[in-house]
Amino acid sequence: MIWNPTALVCNCPNAVSCDDTTQALLVWNPTISVCECPYTTEALDETIQVALVWNPTDGYCECPHADASLDLTIQAALTWDSTNKYCECPTPAVATSATQLAILYNPTLKAC
């Protein structure tokens, strides 16, 4: 927690802003009195979903991401679903046809 002398309260340490498509700010959990990355209490489908991770350098939670550049012809980055509170592989807007497959998460590459 960080003291905010203007508001006279303690706040979770956070960046000034973040990209809400792949990142989220820490939130206060009053039950266990800690700041934490938002998360779902439901079990994740680890083939397409993964929890946020804390980035202490930049001050926000983020979807895991590849260390190297992605080959966008066959790979995609995870996106943050703030409603369901998990990172997920992108899904098509239209139903998958008989000639297409859904993209899966590769935890080694940290990419879909």
pLDDT in tens, 82-100: 999 999 998 776 666 677 7
Q: How many residues does the chain have?
A: 112
pLDDT in tens, 38-75: 999 999 999 999 999 999 888 899 999 988 888 988 89
What pLDDT sits at residue 105? 92
Closest CA to 27 of 3, 63, 48, 1: 1
For 17, list phi and psi in degrees, rounded to 5: -150, 170
In terms of DSSP bridges, do strands 79-81 and 86-88 run parallel, antiparallel, or are they unpaired? antiparallel
Residue 47 CB-density burial (10 A; 0-12 exposed, 13-18 middle, 19+ buried): middle
pTM of the model: 0.81
